[in-house]
């Protein structure tokens, strides 16, 4: 797919890993986007050698050798993953109506760019669709008869969206209390175990408001608006950040199946726009094996917290909660 220059804008978020940043940049260079937006977080002041790594990573962008408008937004200080990524996407969509988002550890195939470009145009007026994903960790399973299907589980290992969808992102998740009180998660996910798993992430993001992950807040925006994700039937991106240097490294991520990037010749659109229950059930089985939020230990901790809240006086409970927050931030 795609022999012409890519007209869809690309946002490339980088930090301190020149080796994998170079690999992703090489694929961007092949696609030759007309507009490239680069957001770079700054070094931690007390991490030895990090400033040099940041400089080496930023130098890669000087390799742009095609007809391209390059927009740079480089930070002198470290903002952290949540603020750096969310502010980068805000900056991006303050200037474009739709686009592709790549982090430095998300390696795309060439088909990924053209897949996103075609579907961003195809669904630009359909507000049911809020995201296009490139990831597929179940390549051995074909869902439906199209090149892609619709899901309620989003993945941000290489993705695309529209300004019309990103406008619902709220870092503070200010409508979460109402969402929880009205049990609106069951409007989005009618499977109780899946709903409990997703709510555990929302709860954690609100409770650890200064340490929340931007992607959880984005998922909340999608759940609140009953948004759907487009998922390809083959891996168009792979995540290279499952290592100790990754900002959000989890040992469980190493259990994900090893997948190889694939390319597609042409896109076959599904005949109906409905989330695939089959795909979401299979995805959740993978989540069950890899995500600690589904574990018995995690559910026990949440149950114990609920018990404390019921049986402790408010002052004691708040002291325990504050201690837990400090502990988790330092862990």
Q: Which residue has the higher pLDDT, 325 or 106?
A: 106
In 32-147, where do the E strands start and end?
Answer: 35-40, 69-74, 98-103, 106-108, 129-133
What's the CATH superfamily of 10-294? Spore Coat Polysaccharide Biosynthesis Protein SpsA; Chain A (3.90.550.10)
Q: Which of 67-76, 110-119, 240-249, 279-288 has the lowest mean pLDDT?
A: 240-249
User: 106-108 and 237-239: which strand pairing?
Assistant: antiparallel
pLDDT at 300: 54
Split at pLDDT 50, 70, 90, the class of 247 is: very low
Q: Are 229 and 134 in contact (CB under 8 A)?
A: no
- 241-267 average pLDDT score: 65
Half-sphere exposure of 267 (CA within 13 A, CB side): 22
The H helix count followed by the E strand count for the chain is 12, 10
Does 12 score more than 70 pLDDT?
A: yes
Contacts of 319 (CB under 8 A, 6+ apart): none
Q: Which residue has the higher pLDDT, 95 or 291?
A: 95
Q: Are 16 and 42 in contact (CB under 8 A)?
A: no
Q: What is the pTM of this model?
A: 0.86
pLDDT, the chain, mean: 88
- 2-13 average pLDDT score: 87
pLDDT per position as a tens digit, 133-167: 999 988 889 999 999 999 999 999 999 999 999 99
Q: Tell me how far apart the alpha carbons of residues 275 and 150 are, in angstroms, rounded to a whole number.
A: 5
Q: Tell me how far apart the alpha carbons of residues 128 and 22 are, in angstroms, rounded to a whole number.
A: 35
**Which pair of tokens denotes residue 187?**
């409007």
Split at pLDDT 50, 70, 90, the class of 243 is: very low
Q: Domain map of the chain by residue range?
A: 10-294, 295-331
Q: Are 225 and 130 in contact (CB under 8 A)?
A: yes
pLDDT per position as a tens digit, 24-72: 999 999 999 999 999 999 999 999 999 999 999 999 999 999 999 999 9
Q: Are 200 and 206 in contact (CB under 8 A)?
A: no
pLDDT per position as a tens digit, 181-226: 999 999 999 999 999 999 989 988 887 655 568 999 999 999 999 9
Q: Which residue has the higher pLDDT, 206 or 327?
A: 206
**Which pair of tokens denotes residue 92?**
């991006």
Q: Are 193 and 174 in contact (CB under 8 A)?
A: no
Q: How far is CA 15 from CA 75, 77, 135, in A?
A: 10, 11, 22
The phi, psi pair for 288, rounded to 5°, reads: -60, -35
């Amino acid at each position: 797919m795609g022999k012409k220059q890519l007209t869809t804008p690309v946002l490339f978020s980088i930090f301190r890993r020149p080796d994998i940043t170079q690999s992703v940049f090489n694929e961007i260079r092949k696609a030759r986007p007309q507009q490239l937006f680069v957001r770079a977080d700054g070094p931690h002041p007390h991490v030895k050698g990090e400033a040099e790594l940041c400089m080496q990573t930023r130098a890669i962008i000087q390799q742009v050798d095609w007809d391209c408008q390059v927009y740079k937004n480089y930070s002198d200080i470290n903002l952290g993953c949540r603020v750096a990524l969310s502010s980068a996407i805000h900056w991006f969509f303050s200037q474009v109506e739709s686009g592709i988002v790549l982090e430095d550890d998300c390696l795309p195939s060439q088909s990924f760019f053209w897949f996103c470009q075609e579907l961003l145009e195809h669904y630009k007026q359909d507000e049911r669709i809020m995201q296009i994903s490139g990831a597929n960790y179940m390549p051995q399973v074909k869902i439906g008869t199209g090149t892609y299907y619709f899901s309620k589980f989003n993945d941000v290992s290489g993705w695309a969206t529209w300004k019309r969808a990103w406008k619902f992102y709220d870092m503070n998740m200010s409508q979460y209390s109402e969402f929880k009180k009205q049990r609106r998660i069951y409007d989005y996910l009618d499977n109780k175990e899946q709903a409990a798993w997703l709510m555990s992430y929302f709860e954690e993001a609100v409770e650890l408001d200064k340490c929340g992950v931007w992607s959880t807040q984005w998922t909340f925006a999608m759940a609140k608006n009953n948004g759907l994700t487009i998922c390809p039937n083959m891996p168009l991106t792979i995540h290279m950040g499952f290592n100790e240097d990754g900002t959000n490294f989890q040992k469980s991520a190493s259990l994900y199946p090893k997948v190889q990037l694939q390319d597609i010749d042409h896109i076959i659109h599904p005949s109906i726009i409905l989330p695939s229950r089959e795909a979401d059930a299979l995805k959740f089985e993978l989540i069950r094996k890899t995500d600690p939020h589904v574990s018995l230990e995690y559910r026990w901790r949440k149950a114990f917290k609920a018990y404390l809240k019921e049986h402790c006086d408010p002052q004691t409970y708040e002291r325990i909660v504050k201690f837990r927050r400090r502990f988790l931030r330092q862990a």
